[in-house]
Amino acid sequence: MLGNFATVDEVKRAVEDIVMVPTPMAGLGSDKGEPADAHFFSQDKSGKSIVIGPIDGKLKVSEAPLGVMTNAPTYGWHMTNLDNYINLSVKDISAEKLGPITLSATGSGSGLLGLPGDFTPPSRFVRAALFSQMATHNADADDAVFAAFHILNQFDIPEGSVVNASVGKPANEITEWTSVNDLENLRGYFRTYQDQSIRVVDLKQAIAAAKGEISTIEMEQSTQPVVDVSTEVKSLKQ
């Protein structure tokens, strides 16, 4: 997509000419492998987004007005499922009458009471849709990048909390890496499971450094250091 199309509209038209072939992937499902039920998300500089997914043996393109996607089930199902969370709001609920008694909120965040917090695709879709639409405006690209990473914290899978057996023998699933793309300035930001510091790839500089060769950047080459600030204590009497 990046090498051949400038807008999602161009991608949408090109998908019509793609013939989908069910190619088994080793390690997925049976011993011989099964086709991956993959979905793809595409967004251009205008903010327009589409989701491409296999439906009944064909690739279907759906407009994605909220700019979010998770992998299963179908995109249309996720959009319909959002209706179940119509009551959620960023505004706290202070109190509600229930017959002769008054119910009070137990703390801040009562407006989002009932927000699903598990790691299933439907629950992740709801959280992604709500958090992205509730986000406040940012002053510049740097602030927007940090805000995006804070939203993505809501989807970080700690090792041991999800054991996935769909790809062969049971294995601990983790969020191996998280990325944020600045489409205006052509920069990609990422962090990994073992290094939570944010690193950036300026595509213009990276392409120039590659000098026309197919090149890679090693994402998992570092472990985040722990900074000892024990001796930086300051007296409150200043």
Q: Are 115 and 127 in contact (CB under 8 A)?
A: yes
Q: What tokens appear for 55 in the block?
A: 């439906």
With respect to residue 12, please indicate whether it lies within any of the assigned structural domains: yes
With respect to residue 28, please indicate whether it lies within any of the assigned structural domains: yes
Residue 219 sits at the vertex; the CA angle it makes with 145 and 33, to the nearest 5 degrees, is 110
| Residue ranges in the chain assigned as alpha helix (H) | 8-15, 75-81, 121-134, 141-152, 203-210
Q: Are 202 and 190 in contact (CB under 8 A)?
A: no
With respect to residue 203, please indicate whether it lies within any of the assigned structural domains: yes
- Provide the pLDDT for residue 43: 93
Q: What is the largest CA-CA distance in the chain?
A: 75
In sequence order, the 6+-apart residues with CB closer than 8 A to the CB of 90 are 111, 112, 134
Kindly list the averaged pLDDT for each block of 10 residues, start to end, along the chain of length 238. 90 88 72 75 92 86 93 90 93 89 88 91 95 92 94 92 75 90 93 94 94 91 90 86
With respect to residue 24, please indicate whether it lies within any of the assigned structural domains: yes
With respect to residue 235, please indicate whether it lies within any of the assigned structural domains: no
With respect to residue 41, please indicate whether it lies within any of the assigned structural domains: yes
Last residue within a domain, chosen from 41, 65, 89: 65
With respect to residue 99, please indicate whether it lies within any of the assigned structural domains: no
Domain carrying residue 212: 135-223
Last residue within a domain, chosen from 16, 43, 65: 65
Burial class (CB in 10 A: 0-12, 13-18, 19+), 31: exposed
Distance (Å, whole) CA 132 – CA 125: 11
- What's the number of domains the chain is made of? 2
- Provide the pLDDT for residue 95: 87
Rounded alpha-carbon distances, angstroms, from residue 111 to 88, 93, 137: 6, 6, 20
With respect to residue 36, please indicate whether it lies within any of the assigned structural domains: yes
Last residue within a domain, chosen from 43, 65, 87: 65
In sequence order, the 6+-apart residues with CB closer than 8 A to the CB of 191 are 149, 177, 178, 197, 198, 199
Neighbours of 11 (CB within 10 A): 18
126-168 tens-digit pLDDT: 999 999 999 999 999 999 999 999 999 999 999 988 887 766 6
219 and 139, same structural domain? Answer: yes
